[in-house]
């Protein structure tokens, strides 16, 4: 059998389904919990919980799906701008990969069977959210959307908001569904 | 290999990666050029896996362990690249939505041709030809959400046809479709067979349609081929089939039982269609006594528990889904709502639970106007079970799933425990209390969906399409459950396309068309005049059609009733 | 009338008939211009220019009304950020906040300018998307020599979003029917409810993922070999000229701004 190409049918399926799932969730998140003063942001970024988990299960393709969903959803409200692509779009691509790398390096189990797995999950989400928060608000600042005093407020609220959203949505998904998802041929922890 | 043999399976065994069980066990099969092979079997028999193996998707795109070989036009599927195998084969799956991978009909049909690298002119020629074959010319620019399930499935067939495959495999192509969609698909298959001499392999639960068209039917159970014979011969083994979980055509079963239990040889070969059965009956010296009919109007004296007064509903996009609906539902009724997709069935029942409020008119549930009641308040009285159980199971264990609504109601823990245990016991799910719902089989998930509603002790239970995508055993099991709840006094409202189950279980039938109730009455009276109504896609069950043809005044609902009706004339 | 992302436009609309590559370039053009220009006068004049293009493209301006809410969100967001969190010296100080920032006449002008910048991006991209079909995205991305696999994935994402939206509403209704008030409670309370909503959505996603691979295999999705395309878009000499114009103007704008200070706002806070 021929070896699978780097971005083959399975990878397209993971990316497109993740993006398709996260796209409406991102739109709902922006409408339901908007943050005054921070365009295209949501106080509870529901899709992050999904694409973080998808990335842990299926690799970087989950992150790419999150990136596509975020870019399209944020652009729908705030214009398909270079700025949108760079800030939320790229930020949401980098963050789950950071978490995946930490998970892989520390050899944690996505099924969250032991206390150590929980600890790695929480720490990886916190680091990823901080990295993403710094990225997003620096881009905002460079494009002139926010002012300096809002930079650190933005980073802090982003860090807290994203960490909570990912942990609240993602933890039960990992805990309850990993055993089921393990049956999928796309699952990477085999 | 036989020169006319286009598809050959030799001792095929297959198990999915991580699975302990072999899904296919020593499958041997040959399909000749131009043949129509039907595949039947209960859920979990391995039918879809066999289809994937016939196309080469197994083992190329699915991980697992394989033994044996599959040849397509002499090419070993495991030794040839998948795209080479796919040049000769097309496959259509069950879910019409997931198969639509582009945004417009024409793009969907040309997509496989673009992948083949064909020149533009050839693509256009083939695509328009394929659309014409499936009767979808004029729909080229339509989006998936502008099409019905049957139309989407016809587009899926067209997209495969455009490749000009020599073999077309269809895996339960009509399972998700309403009667109109089912009829459309079988008409297309008939065209392919008669005008294009295509080799067809069709997995189907609808044995009555299969019996009409197939040259040969293969019976699969637990991964093994139990039989492969011509339809008449296979469907004549009624008891054997029913034990396996496959129900034969009603008229075949009727004649089989007539033969067996009356000890008479009433026909040399058992009929497969009502027309054949009518011919066989006309040769017999029998009289038909109309059954004694219970008074269905006795409930009407009580106060209605749900009432619609001149209800109109318009969706935000302007679609008028209900037009002047008047309806009274009485306590203890078992109502079936039938009609084509888009006729307003689901919109009607969503008004009963208050998810939708009428644009005009009034809906009252137990005397309360639904516009003045919250959905959660109404949900205590009227339970609603979705068509796809996966849309309503969101907890981490079966127990929590049943307890979810009760916790929201703020019931004391002891009462929650009592209710949940009782309902799980009742539905045979007690042993799964700690299991996550998504690990259950589809039939079990469907039962769990009913359990979550039952735990709330509603007076009315509405079930939307409980039989879609289920085999006959699963469908019957869910209907038996509803019947027993009805016997205990619950009011049941069920939406279904399965006319056989409507006839056997419902007491009252509502026929919907274009947002209106165009017929409302006892199941017997409605089925008797169904073919006169302007709902061409709805046809009564085979046995009803047979007896109506014999005597237009005799409306028979089941094989058992038919057997009681026939009297031998000396 | 032909359907696009946002609406139905007339088939003979000149913008609808543009080459997909030009549509992408036009999108980039509006964004780059909005990013480079600081002067509120030029920005708002450009917005008027785009509105004229709406007329030329035969897109009823009334269609823009559906984006009013989004425009209002952007406006309030920018005003909020500048009024509460900037220190821009001006002729008149209207208000000083206890945390050290203040509002001057220039603060309001800057904010007005920033709103103009985003309005130009919004109306510009809305104009382009109003004449763009999904197929334009695929062909536009391919014209930029980006791999087909990525273009197809983006188009698939749109397709599946419609399926998941349908799922979302079904699951949400099922939850409401079992006594869940999704829109009540604090943020954490709402979050807890969304967790329940997420489980069936994720299960459906994972199931569909596998089915989708079978479907794509069956349709012979070709990522490595030669594939052909059903639609033919010819750029033509006029198209090439337009493409060059769309590339040149932003470069020229930037040059004029950097060299001669045109299109600038004196004292722009991010000019260093």
**B498 C-beta neighbours (distance < 10 Å), count:** 25
Model pLDDT for residues B433-477, shown as the tens digit of each residue? 999 898 888 888 888 999 999 999 999 999 998 877 778 888 888
Please indicate whether, in this complex, the C-beta atoms of A180 and B438 are within 8 angstroms of each other.
yes
- For B273, counting Cβ atoms within 10 Å of its Cβ (0-12 exposed, 13-18 middle, 19+ buried), the class is middle
User: By the CB < 8 Å criterion, does A6 face chain B?
Assistant: no
Which pLDDT band holds residue A1 (cuts at 50, 70, 90)? very low
- Give the residues across from C87 on adjacent strands: C102
Measure in Å the smallest separation between the Cα of A116 and chain C Cα atoms: 23
The structure tokens listed for B107 are: 């793009």
Q: Is the pLDDT at A76 greater than 70, yes or no? A: no
Residues making up chain C, counted from first to last: 272
Q: How deeply is A180 buried, as exposed, middle or buried, from its count of CB atoms within 10 A (0-12, 13-18, 19+)?
A: middle
CA Rg value for chain A: 16
Asked whether residue B162 is assigned to any structural domain, the reply reads yes
Residue from C88, C77, C76, C116 nearest C263 by CA = C116
Query: A36: which 2 tokens?
Result: 């005054």
B361 touches chain A (CB under 8 A): no
Q: Is B376 among the domain residues? A: yes
Best of A4, A16, A24, A176 to mutate (most B CBs within 10 Å, chain B): A176
Tell me how close the Cα of B16 comes to any Cα of chain A, in angstroms: 9
Q: Does A25 touch chain C (CB under 8 A)?
A: yes
| C63 has a pLDDT exceeding 70 | no
Longest Cα–Cα distance of chain C, Å, equals 70
pLDDT at residue A92 greater than cutoff 90? no
Tell me: pLDDT of A3 over 50: no
Non-local CB neighbours of B346 within 8 Å, separated by 6+ positions = B464, B495
Flag if C217 and B114 touch (Cβ within 8 Å): no
Please report the residues numbered 148 through 177 in chain A whose beta carbons come closer than 8 angstroms to any beta carbon of chain B. 172, 175-177
First to last CA, chain C: 50
- State which residue of chain A sits closest to C207, comparing Cα positions: A184
Contact between A96 and A63 under an 8 Å Cβ cutoff? The reply is yes
> Within a domain: residue B431?
yes
- B143, B98: one domain: yes
Instruction: Report if residue B555 sits inside a domain.
Output: no
B144 contacts in chain C (CB < 8 Å): 159, 162
Q: Is the pLDDT of residue A39 over 60?
A: no
- pLDDT higher than 60, residue C102: yes
Same domain, B452 and B463: no
Tell me, yes or no, if C5 comes closer than 8 A to chain A by beta carbon: no
Judgement on whether residues B406 and B531 belong to the same structural domain of the protein: no
- Chains in touch with C (3+ beta-carbon pairs under 8 Å) read A, B
Residue in chain B lying closest to A185 (CA) = B63
Residue of A nearest to C130 (CA): A76
Choose, out of C198, C225, C227, the residue to mutate when testing the contact with A (most A CBs < 10 Å): C198
Task: Report how many domains make up chain B.
Answer: 3
- Chain C residue numbers touching B50 (CB-CB < 8 A): none
Does residue B208 fall inside a structural domain? Answer: yes
Q: What is the Cα–Cα distance from A157 to B515, expressed in whole angstroms?
A: 50
Identity of the highest mean pLDDT range in A134-138, B490-494, C141-145, C261-265: B490-494
Nearest CA distance, C208 vs chain A (angstrom): 8
In chain C, what residues touch B93 (CB-CB under 8 Å)? 211, 214-215, 218
**Owning domain of residue B140:** 5-231
Question: Please, are residues B489 and B318 in contact by the beta-carbon 8 Å criterion?
Answer: no
- For residue B61, the chain A residues in CB contact (below 8 A) are 9
For residue A8, give the chain B residue with the closest CA: B61
Q: Report the gap between the CA of A47 and the closest CA in chain C (Å).
A: 10
Phi-psi sector, A3: left (phi>0), alpha (psi -120 to 50), beta: beta
| Chain C touched by A96 (CB under 8 Å) | no
- Name the nearest CA neighbour of C191 among B407, A167, A57: A167
* Range of lowest pLDDT (B89-103, C19-33, C81-95, C160-174): C81-95
Top-confidence residue, C198 or A16: A16
Q: Do A16 and C270 touch (CB under 8 A)?
A: no
**Residues B553, B544: Cα–Cα separation, whole Å:** 11
pLDDT of residue C272: 35
Pick from C149, C154, C218, C225 the residue to mutate for testing the B interface (most B CBs within 10 Å): C218
Give the three-state DSSP class for B306: strand
| Record: contact B394-C199, CB cut-off 8 A | yes
Which pLDDT tens digit goes with each residue over C125-152? Answer: 888 888 888 788 888 888 888 889 998 9
User: How near does any CA of chain C get to the CA of A40, in Å?
Assistant: 8
Q: Cα–Cα distance between A94 and A91 in angstroms, integer? A: 5
* pLDDT category of residue A190 using cuts at 50, 70 and 90: confident
**Burial environment of residue B570 by CB neighbours within 10 A (0 to 12, 13 to 18, 19 or more):** exposed
Q: Counting Cβ atoms within 10 Å, is residue B79 exposed (0-12), middle (13-18) or buried (19+)? A: exposed
- Best B51, B89, B115 member to test C by mutation, with max C CBs in 10 Å, is B115
CB-based contact, C75 to chain A, within 8 Å: no
Residue-level pLDDT at B422: 93
User: Six-digit token pair at A22?
Assistant: 């996260």
Distance (Å, whole) CA C234 – CA A117:
56
Q: How far apart are CA C227 and CA B14, in angstroms?
A: 33
C153 and A15 in contact by Cβ < 8 A?
yes
> Is cis: bond before C233, omega within 30 of 0?
no
| Residue B262 is assigned to a structural domain of this protein | no
B65–chain C nearest CA distance, Å = 18
The CATH number that applies at residue B514 is: 3.40.50.300
With an 8 Å Cβ cutoff, are A12 and C156 in contact? Answer: yes
Measured between CA atoms, how close is C90 to chain A, in angstroms? Answer: 17
pLDDT at B502: 93
Of C86, C159, C199, the CB nearest to A176: C199
CB contact under 8 A, B391 and C174: yes
Report d(CA C53, CA C18) in Å as an integer. Answer: 13
Question: Do B388 and B335 share a structural domain?
Answer: no
Tell me the percentage of chain B whose pLDDT exceeds 90.
57
Best-predicted range by mean pLDDT among A9-23, B252-266, C87-101? A9-23
Do B220 and B106 share a structural domain? yes
Instruction: Find chain C residues with C-beta within 8 A of A44's C-beta.
Output: 187, 190-191, 194
Cβ neighbours of residue B15 under 8 Å, at least 6 residues apart? B21, B22, B23, B64, B65
Low-confidence ranges of chain B (pLDDT < 50): 1-2
Decide if C174 contacts A154 (C-beta within 8 A): no
- Tell me the shortest Cα–Cα distance from B337 to chain C, in angstroms: 20
Percent pLDDT > 70 in chain A is 83
Pair of tokens at residue B444: 């079990």
Q: Is C249 on the interface with A (CB under 8 A)?
A: no
**Contact (CB<8Å) C218/B55:** yes
Interface mutation vs chain A, best among B58, B61, B79, B81, most A CBs within 10 Å:
B61
**Token digits for B139?**
């729909």
Distance between CA atoms of residues C159 and C149, nearest Å: 15
Taking the C-alpha atoms of residue B334 and residue B453, their distance in angstroms, rounded to an integer, is 17
- Closest alpha carbon within chain A to B78: A1
CB–CB contact C161 A19 (8 Å): yes
Strand segments, DSSP code E, in chain C are 2-3, 8-9, 93-96, 102-104
Check pLDDT > 60 for residue C160.
yes
Length of chain A: 190
The domains located in chain A, with CATH, are 9-181 (1.10.1760.20)
Rg of chain C taking only CA atoms, in angstroms = 24
C148-177 helix and A9-32 helix, angle to the nearest 10 degrees:
50
In whole angstroms, what is the distance from residue C124 CA to residue C37 CA?
14
- Closest CA in chain B for residue C214: B57
- Structure confidence at residue A37 as a pLDDT band (50, 70, 90): low
User: Which one is predicted more confidently, A36 or B79?
Assistant: B79
Closest chain C residue to the Cα of B436, Cα to Cα: C199
Residue B148 tokens, joined: 């019905």
Answer whether A180 touches B (CB < 8 Å): yes
Average pLDDT over residues C68-86: 78
Q: Measured between alpha carbons, how far is C223 from B129 in angstroms, rounded to an integer?
A: 26
Q: Write the DSSP symbol of residue C208.
A: H
As a residue count, chain B comes to 570
Domain boundary among B231, B249, B282: B231
Does one domain contain both B93 and B161?
yes
- From the list C171, C176, C217, which residue is nearest B394 (CB)? C171
Q: Note every long-range contact of A71-77, with CB atoms under 8 Å and residues 24 or more positions apart, other chains counting.
A: A72/A19, A72/A23, A72/A26, A72/C154, A72/C157, A72/C158, A73/A22, A73/A23, A73/A26, A73/A27, A73/A30, A73/A47, A74/A26, A74/A30, A74/A40, A75/C125, A76/A27, A77/A27, A77/A30, A77/A40, A77/C70, A77/C73
Q: In chain B, what's the furthest Cα-to-Cα distance?
A: 73
Token pair recorded at residue B115: 């992948």
Looking at the DSSP assignment, which residues form a beta bridge with residue B30?
A: B8
Mapped onto helix, strand or coil, the DSSP state of residue C134 is: helix
Distances (CA, A) of B320 to B20, B314, B397, B426: 52, 4, 40, 41
Whether A24 and C161 lie within 8 Å, measured CB to CB:
yes
Q: How confident is the model at residue A81 (pLDDT cuts 50, 70, 90)?
A: low
State whether B59 and A1 contact (CB < 8 Å). Answer: yes
Q: pLDDT tens digits, residue range B131-190?
A: 998 888 999 988 888 887 778 888 999 999 999 899 999 998 887 777 777 877 888 888
Q: How far apart are CA B390 and CA C72, in angstroms?
A: 38
B220 φ, ψ (degrees, to nearest 5): -115, 135
CB-based contact B394 C225, cutoff 8 Å: no
Q: Do B98 and C163 touch (CB under 8 A)?
A: yes
Domain residue spans of chain C: 2-140+234-260, 147-218
Q: Is residue B44 part of a domain?
A: yes
DSSP assignments along B380-421, one per residue? TTEEEE-SSGGGT--SSSHHHHHHHHHHHHT--HHHHHHHHH
- My answer on whether B469 and B444 are in the same domain is no
pLDDT of residue C5: 60
Sort C90 into a burial class: Cβ within 10 Å, 0-12 / 13-18 / 19+: middle
How near does any CA of chain A get to the CA of B397, in Å? 9
Alpha-carbon Rg of chain B, whole angstroms?
25
A:C CB pairs within 8 Å: 205
Question: What's the rounded Cα separation, in Å, for the pair B560 and B528?
Answer: 18
Question: Is residue B199 within 8 Å of B6, Cβ to Cβ?
Answer: yes
What is the value of ipTM here, to two decimals?
0.86
CA atoms of B146 and C4, how far apart (whole Å):
14
pLDDT band for position C75 (50/70/90)?
confident
CA dist A53 and A43 (Å) reads 19
Q: Which pLDDT does position A153 carry in this prediction?
A: 81
- Candidates A1, A9, A185; nearest CB to B17: A185
Task: Give C-chain residues touching B90 at CB under 8 angstroms.
Answer: 218
């Amino acid at each position: 059998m021929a070896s699978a190409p780097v971005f083959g049918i399975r990878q397209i399926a993971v990316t497109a389904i993740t993006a398709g799932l996260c796209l409406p969730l991102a739109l709902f998140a922006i409408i339901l919990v908007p943050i005054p003063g921070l365009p295209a942001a949501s106080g509870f970024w529901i899709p992050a919980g999904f694409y973080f988990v998808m990335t842990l299960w299926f690799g970087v393709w989950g992150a790419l799906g999150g990136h596509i969903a975020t870019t399209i959803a944020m652009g729908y409200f705030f214009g398909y701008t270079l700025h949108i692509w760079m800030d939320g779009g790229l930020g949401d691509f980098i963050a789950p990969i950071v978490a995946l790398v930490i998970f892989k390096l520390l050899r944690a189990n996505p099924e969250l069977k032991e206390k150590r797995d929980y600890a790695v999950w929480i720490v990886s989400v916190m680091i990823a959210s901080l990295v993403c928060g710094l990225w997003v608000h620096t881009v905002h600042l460079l494009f002139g959307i926010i002012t300096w005093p809002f930079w650190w407020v933005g980073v802090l609220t982003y860090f807290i908001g994203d960490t909570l959203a990912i942990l609240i949505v993602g933890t039960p998904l990992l805990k309850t569904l990993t055993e089921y998802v393990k049956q999928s041929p796309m699952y990477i922890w085999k | 290999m036989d020169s006319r043999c286009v598809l050959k399976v030799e001792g095929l065994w297959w198990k999915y990666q991580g699975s302990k069980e072999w899904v296919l066990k020593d499958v041997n099969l040959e399909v000749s050029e131009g043949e129509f092979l039907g595949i039947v079997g209960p859920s979990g028999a391995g039918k879809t896996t066999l289809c994937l193996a016939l196309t080469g998707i197994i083992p190329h795109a699915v991980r697992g362990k394989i033994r044996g070989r599959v040849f397509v036009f002499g090419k070993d599927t495991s030794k040839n690249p998948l795209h080479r195998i796919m040049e000769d084969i097309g496959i259509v799956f069950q879910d019409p939505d997931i198969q639509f991978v582009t945004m417009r009909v024409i793009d969907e049909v040309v997509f496989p041709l673009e992948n083949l690298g064909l020149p533009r002119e050839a693509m256009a020629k083939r695509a328009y030809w394929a659309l014409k074959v499936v009767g979808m010319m004029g729909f080229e620019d339509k989006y998936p959400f502008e099409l019905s399930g049957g139309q989407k499935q016809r587009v899926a067939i067209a997209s495969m046809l455009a490749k000009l495959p020599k073999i077309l495999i269809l895996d339960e192509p009509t399972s998700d479709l309403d009667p109109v969609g089912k009829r459309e698909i079988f008409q297309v298959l008939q065209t392919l067979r008669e005008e294009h001499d295509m080799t067809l392999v069709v997995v189907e639960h609808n044995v009555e349609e299969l019996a009409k068209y197939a040259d040969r039917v293969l019976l699969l159970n637990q991964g093994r081929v139990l039989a492969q014979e011509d339809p008449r011969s296979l469907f004549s083994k009624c008891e054997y089939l029913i034990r396996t979980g496959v129900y034969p055509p009603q008229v075949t079963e009727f004649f089989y039982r007539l033969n067996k239990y009356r000890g008479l040889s009433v026909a040399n070969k058992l009929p497969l269609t009502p027309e054949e059965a009518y011919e066989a009956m006309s040769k017999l010296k029998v009289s038909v006594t109309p059954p004694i009919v219970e008074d269905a109007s006795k409930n009407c004296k009580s106060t209605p528990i749900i009432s619609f007064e001149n209800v109109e509903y318009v969706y935000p996009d302007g679609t008028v889904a209900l037009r002047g609906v008047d309806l009274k539902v009485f306590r203890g009724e078992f109502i079936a709502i039938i009609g084509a997709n888009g006729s307003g069935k689901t919109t009607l029942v969503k008004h009963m639970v208050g998810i939708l409020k009428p644009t005009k008119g009034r809906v009252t549930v137990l005397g309360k106007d639904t516009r003045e009641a919250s959905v959660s308040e109404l949900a205590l009285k009227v339970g609603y079970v979705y068509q796809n159980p996966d849309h309503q199971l969101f907890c981490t264990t079966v127990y929590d799933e049943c307890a979810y609504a009760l916790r929201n109601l703020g019931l004391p823990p002891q009462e929650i425990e009592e209710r949940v245990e009782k309902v799980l016991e009742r539905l045979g799910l007690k042993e799964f209390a700690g299991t996550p719902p998504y690990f259950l089989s589809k039939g079990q998930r469907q039962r769990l969906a009913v359990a979550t509603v039952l735990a709330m002790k509603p007076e009315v239970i509405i079930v939307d399409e409980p039989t879609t995508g289920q085999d006959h055993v699963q469908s019957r099991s869910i209907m038996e459950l509803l019947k027993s709840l009805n016997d205990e006094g619950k009011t049941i409202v069920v939406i279904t396309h399965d006319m056989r189950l409507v006839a056997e279980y419902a007491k009252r039938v509502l026929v919907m068309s274009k947002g209106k109730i165009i017929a409302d009455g006892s199941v017997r009276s409605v089925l008797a005049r169904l073919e006169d109504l302007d709902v061409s896609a709805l046809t009564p069950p085979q046995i009803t059609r047979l007896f109506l043809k014999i005597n237009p005044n005799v409306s028979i609902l089941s094989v058992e009733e038919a057997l009681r009706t026939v009297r031998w004339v000396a | 009338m032909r359907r696009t992302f946002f609406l139905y436009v007339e088939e003979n609309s000149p913008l609808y008939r543009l080459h997909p590559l030009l549509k992408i370039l036009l999108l980039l053009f509006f964004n780059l211009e909005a990013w480079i220009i600081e002067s509120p006068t030029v920005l708002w004049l450009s917005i008027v220019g785009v509105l004229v293009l709406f007329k030329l493209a035969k897109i009823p301006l009334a269609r823009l009304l559906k984006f009013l809410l989004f425009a209002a969100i952007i406006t309030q967001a920018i005003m909020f950020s500048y009024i509460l969190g900037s220190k821009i010296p001006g002729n008149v100080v209207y208000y000083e906040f206890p945390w050290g920032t203040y509002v001057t006449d220039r603060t309001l002008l800057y904010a007005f300018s920033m709103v103009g910048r985003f309005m130009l991006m919004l109306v510009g991209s809305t104009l382009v998307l109003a004449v763009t079909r999904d197929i334009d995205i695929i062909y536009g991305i391919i014209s930029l020599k980006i791999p087909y696999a990525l273009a197809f994935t983006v188009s698939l994402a749109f397709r599946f979003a419609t399926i998941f939206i349908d799922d979302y509403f079904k699951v949400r209704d099922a939850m409401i029917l079992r006594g869940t008030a999704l829109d009540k409670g604090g943020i954490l309370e709402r979050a807890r409810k969304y967790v329940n909503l997420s489980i069936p959505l994720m299960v459906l996603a994972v199931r569909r993922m596998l089915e989708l691979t079978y479907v794509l295999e069956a349709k012979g999705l070709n990522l490595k070999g030669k594939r052909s395309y059903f639609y033919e878009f010819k750029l033509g000499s006029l198209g090439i000229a337009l493409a060059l114009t769309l590339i040149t103007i932003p470069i020229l704008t930037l040059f004029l701004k950097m060299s001669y200070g045109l299109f600038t706002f004196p004292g722009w806070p991010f000019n260093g």
